[in-house]
Structure 1
Amino acid sequence: SPGACLPHQNNTVLYAYSTEIDSIPFVNGANRIINFARLYGIIANVRLDTKQEEEIEYHTDGKSLSDSIFSHQPDPSLGYEDTTTGSNLYNVLKKFLTNKNASICGAQVFLLLKRYPDESDVSDIISQLRANHVMVLIAVDSIPSGGSNSATLYEMSYQTNGYCLFATDSDLNNGFYFMTAILADPYQFLAQNFVVSGSGRIEVPPFKSPTPVGDEELCPFAITVQNRTLDNSFVSVNYTIGSTDGSFVYAFPGNQSLPLYGNAQTDGVYCNGSLSYTWIIDYHYNTDAPQIIQLRMYNSNKNDLGSTVACRPYQNNTVLYAYSNDIDYWTYSWAANSIFYYAYKNTTMAIVRFDTKQEEEIEFYSDAEYIWFLFLLLDLFISEKFLNNGKVSFCGAQVLVLAKRYPDKTDVSDIISQLRANHVMVHIAVDSVPSGGSNSATLYEMAYQTNGYCAFATDNALQKAFGWMTNILGFPYQFIAQNFVVSGSGRIEIPVFKAPLPPALDNSFVSMNYTIASTDGSYVYKYPSAQSYPLYGTAQSGYVWLNGSLSYTWTIDYHYNTDAPQVIECRMYSTYYHDFLPLPDF
């Protein structure tokens, strides 16, 4: 019965997509859902709008899910091949609601659509969805391939506390990507809808997240500004999410906020369980016709309701993920999911588990093969096998190492020389409470000498540090790599630079403060601040939005309580091509 359906039983996800949808949003959505499959009991998938209606397939493991999804990729030739036939979406949803394979209590349904349905009355389906607390989230191409009625799509998501995105091309891809991020934080704790017109302000009463008091965690959110494809009646929306004590303010639009994708904007704020928050929206439409603004917010806590000709950076198409057999499961899994998500950006992904009694071989995968469940790691000399693998190019490769055990070798200059000669960049996250081994210095040296970096941390800090480290795979072109040997207190001022856009800590460390600012004063990112991520172990990572028309400065104030030399590394990455940077003296 509905009364027996609670949010923590939210263990079924359905991914349904049109056979006519573009491959990029399909693949990105599929990878995202596969990555989060481990969090759910059952994941179901089905391809829509085929001449021969297909059956929903149900899976309890990521391997079978991946095999099923990628063997049923979008193929317009299997579709209706006309502009008049409506989507079969509602027929498929009826089957899902009466299935005998998975509980629908608290299920999440993700729809990626190219074709509108024709039905104008789906109240029976909506009633069943609501009775079972099924939440429907929809991304629909605003340039449809057929069908006549988009209003029921919005109504179905609206009535189930989901939301509906209307967008096309890259906006559809980006919007659906952030929509599926909700799978990591599935517990919705704010869902409000406002019918407005003209200009005005909405003030959501102070609210708290389900985050435990004293803790802080990410709260994804979404806002939609129209119940249809964005049209000329929409002028603007500006809003803030702020703590009532004034210590935190998120502003849209702003340098730190994601843009509007179609009719929806999604992002995340860090919620402190000790604080209350307000959400204030100023809206402007150039019509008095009613408009709907939806607000949604989620949480992970339960809530009862220098190049050579042969080697260029853009050929950076191989990634090696090597991890210690001793590493804890959650850190390993977190990173594996992140690396798998970025697999589509690289020609070859290589994986190996080290520190095993029986040394294991590196495995190589291509074409977004399902690799995360196979992730197998090793001793430092595994790099030699990678460099002499004979299977794939390692020009410009990226190596991500997750280590629990230190190596014993004190001289790895031969490996470093080969890495540098081939522009291989090594990033290492090493547990500062090792399971064995004697020499951590060579790990730092190898990362340093290849323009990567090495993070020493443990427990939750290790997990987060390596999670951020793997995000570099989405921004592979490094354009800042500088190192500074310092002691005592002082300041580092990095010379003015431009982005390549087209027109474990010990007691000697006291503090660090820095700014990244445009020289015209229009943009400043500060650390530490409410908008910046904290220091995880010895490393701090984050994002800044850089304008290709501007120049920037990076100013760092540091304080150590010793005169012994310390090394500060600065790294910055972009999605736009940039040549290899000079390596440090070796």
Structure 2
Amino acid sequence: MFPPYTTFAAVRFDMARGIDFHFDNDFNSTIEYVRSNLPNPLLGFENRNDGSNVLTMIDNFTANNQVPVCGSRLLILVKRYPNGNDISNLATKLREYHITPSILASNNPSGGNQSEILYDLATQTNGLCGFYKDEEMGKAVGFVPSCFNPYLIYATNPLVVGKGILDLPVLHVPTNNFFWFTITIQNDGGPTSAVETVLLKWTSNNSENGKFEKDGDNIYGWLFGNVMNKNSVLNSLIYNLTLDYEYIDGNQQRLQIRVHSTDPINTYFKSHLPTPSLSFASKDTGSDVLQMVDRFLDNTKAPVCGSELFILTKRYPNGTDISQLISKIRRYHFAVTFMASRKPSGGNSPEMLYDLASRTNGLCGFDDDNKMGYSVEFFPTCFNPFLIYAVNPLVSGKGTVQLPPISVPSESFVGFWFSMTVQDSGPINVVQTALLSWSNTTVYNKGSHIGLKDTNSGDDVLYGNHISNWEDMNKAIYSMTLDYEYLDSKSRRLQIRVHGRSSNPVNYWPPFDN
């Protein structure tokens, strides 16, 4: 699934011999074009003193006569900085056309001397400019709002120095939805050691609704380079925003704060929200979620083979035999993802949801009701639909298990999404370590890991019983290892899944593990 763009464009710049824009109506074709035109140092500028022609490239795009440019989103990866240029005319043009650039710049440039020009252009046009290590670029793409969260609802650029608290312009949220908060914590690619505290909070009705912060080495959110991100569910209200900051040097910093919506509003869901008065009266009554899945499989209005089903459930089913339903789901290669409440309104068999997902290459998460909105974005069903790996290792106590290797079918422009449950429906506080590692020493991306180690999730995203993150991999076979430690002796079956986006679809169904 990809945001509803109608036209895509790609171009290489900073080359001794310029090339034209490639326009396409298909995202996958555009990605193939990018893969076949990756940077080649032999074709680039030879002198480090030569500045990037990225600004000329942007100007050429606005002047093209092949596609309309109004409302465009630009995602620009830059290894070389421009040299001094007046950007006032270009900034005016981008504002006129409502074009917002998201610039991902290397903090180890191959040339040029004016990184502040990139940052200033993004500041003046409601865009974003991040500075990253080269090896972070692939992961950072998945966190900038240009591609996957295209609907900007808020932008401000506060000027800060030293220590203080700022009241920012209020945030008017147009409708209940998921929103993506982004803030740069400094305006260049230098070390962030001078950034002691950056705390952005949003409140309504005098109660705190959300925040993200950097407090020394403690991060509440996701921090890559100079850019921090966090998603949040907001209601259609007016929110007050405050920024607490502390920098240990005396340099002024112009920060960029942006709020984007992940999707346009779906009017059907808004008009069919849960109504307690229409639900089952007794807590003893089990959910009919399994019957609902079966009815969908038998429907005659839409094909079901290869469907992705995403289910939010507040009530658990009661005990029943699910073997026939599992057989039917497997026959149709039907993927079921459950997001279930830790505090159900009824029913007594959460393990049935988990078992159904385990045996059909699906995924089953359990989380608190107030975290559901966050968790949804980190489940692979909607945004990363192409499953390439699925295993369900059985673990107990403490140990290490060698898993089946993963065969990566193709390179990916934005990486692969790793998801793993670290617990079934039981308590999360018994989990000490559940760490998945992969390696191949013969390729560029030699391996990495996700999970918990001594209850610490590091940069990975942990909600409820599941943890996930983007990871870069090459087209290769990687060995897979799981280290685990639990405080009890119970046996539990974990779910490990690896998905790709539409940029790397596959033409096969991964085998079922059990």
Bucket of the pairwise TM-score, normalised by the shorter protein: 0.5 to 0.7
One-letter amino acid of the counterpart of residue 335, structure 2: I
2:45 corresponds to 1:85: no
Gaps of 5+ in 2: 266-295, 312-321, 339-351, 366-372, 390-415, 438-451, 470-481, 499-511
2:382 match: 467
Q: State whether residues 327 and 402 of structure 1, in contact with CA within 8 Å, keep that contact through their aligned partners in structure 2.
A: no
2:247 match: 285
1:219 match: 179
Q: Which structure 2 residues correspond to residues 99-248 of structure 1 after superposition, within 5 A? A: 99-179=64-144, 181-211=145-175, 215=176, 217-231=177-191, 232-246=193-207, 248=209
C-alpha deviations, 1:82-135, integer Å up to 9, x for none? 322211212222211111111121221111000111232222212211222211
Q: State whether residues 519 and 552 of structure 1, in contact with CA within 8 Å, keep that contact through their aligned partners in structure 2.
A: no
Q: State whether residues 420 and 468 of structure 2, in contact with CA within 8 Å, keep that contact through their aligned partners in structure 1.
A: no
Larger Rg: 1
The CA distance in 2 between the partners of 1:298 and 1:278, in whole Å, is 16
Q: Which structure 2 residues correspond to residues 413-432 of structure 1 after superposition, within 5 A? A: 428-429=335-336
The CA distance in 2 between the partners of 1:240 and 1:138, in whole Å, is 25
Q: SS at 2:39's partner residue? A: coil
2:401 match: none
1:68 match: 33
1:95 match: 60
Between 1:467-476 and 1:157-166, the stretch displaced more is: 467-476
One-letter amino acid of the counterpart of residue 88, structure 2: S
Between 1:76-85 and 1:231-240, the stretch displaced more is: 231-240
Q: SS at 1:65's partner residue? A: helix
Q: State whether residues 239 and 253 of structure 1, in contact with CA within 8 Å, keep that contact through their aligned partners in structure 2.
A: no
C-alpha deviations, 1:384-424, integer Å up to 9, x for none? xxxxxxxxxxxxxxxx96599xxx995989x99xx9xxxxx
Q: State whether residues 475 and 573 of structure 1, in contact with CA within 8 Å, keep that contact through their aligned partners in structure 2.
A: no
C-alpha deviations, 1:296-325, integer Å up to 9, x for none? 1112459xxxxxxxxxxxxxxxxxxxx989
Q: Which structure 2 residues correspond to residues 427-446 of structure 1 after superposition, within 5 A? A: 428-429=335-336
1:3 match: none
The CA distance in 1 between the partners of 2:169 and 2:384, in whole Å, is 38
- Cα 1:427/1:447, change in 2 over 3 Å: farther
2:433 match: 498
TM-score, L = length of structure 1: 0.53
Superposition CA RMSD, Å: 5.0
The CA distance in 2 between the partners of 1:430 and 1:294, in whole Å, is 36
1:252 match: 213
The CA distance in 2 between the partners of 1:87 and 1:101, in whole Å, is 25
The CA distance in 2 between the partners of 1:452 and 1:469, in whole Å, is 13
- Cα 1:72/1:276, change in 2 over 3 Å: same
Quote how far apart the aligned CAs of 1:50 are. 1.5
Structure with bigger RCO (C-alpha 8 Å, 6+ apart): 2
One-letter amino acid of the counterpart of residue 155, structure 1: D
- Cα 1:165/1:326, change in 2 over 3 Å: farther
1:339 match: none
C-alpha deviations, 1:11-30, integer Å up to 9, x for none? xxxxxxxxxxxxxxxxxxxx
Pairs aligned (count):
376
The CA distance in 2 between the partners of 1:194 and 1:246, in whole Å, is 23
The CA distance in 1 between the partners of 2:194 and 2:337, in whole Å, is 54
Q: SS at 2:232's partner residue? A: strand
1:46 match: 11
Q: Which structure 2 residues correspond to residues 323-338 of structure 1 after superposition, within 5 A? A: none
- Cα 1:146/1:128, change in 2 over 3 Å: same
Percent sequence identity over aligned pairs: 25
Quote how far apart the aligned CAs of 1:234 are. 3.0
1:295 match: 257
The CA distance in 2 between the partners of 1:256 and 1:288, in whole Å, is 23
Quote how far apart the aligned CAs of 1:477 are. 7.3
Q: State whether residues 113 and 141 of structure 1, in contact with CA within 8 Å, keep that contact through their aligned partners in structure 2.
A: yes
Q: SS at 1:219's partner residue? A: strand
Quote how far apart the aligned CAs of 1:81 are. 3.3
Q: SS at 2:183's partner residue? A: strand
The CA distance in 2 between the partners of 1:89 and 1:468, in whole Å, is 30
The CA distance in 2 between the partners of 1:262 and 1:91, in whole Å, is 26
Q: SS at 1:499's partner residue? A: strand
- Cα 1:499/1:550, change in 2 over 3 Å: closer
Quote how far apart the aligned CAs of 1:282 are. 1.4
Quote how far apart the aligned CAs of 1:253 are. 4.0
Gaps of 5+ in 1: 1-34, 303-322, 330-353, 356-376, 379-399, 420-425, 432-441, 484-490, 503-516, 524-530, 534-539, 555-568, 576-582
Q: Which structure 2 residues correspond to residues 323-402 of structure 1 after superposition, within 5 A? A: 377=305
2:410 match: none
The CA distance in 2 between the partners of 1:276 and 1:542, in whole Å, is 32
C-alpha deviations, 1:44-97, integer Å up to 9, x for none? 110111221011121122343233222212222221233222112122222111
Quote how far apart the aligned CAs of 1:549 are. 13
1:263 match: 226
- Cα 1:453/1:293, change in 2 over 3 Å: closer
One-letter amino acid of the counterpart of residue 90, structure 1: L
The CA distance in 1 between the partners of 2:45 and 2:466, in whole Å, is 46
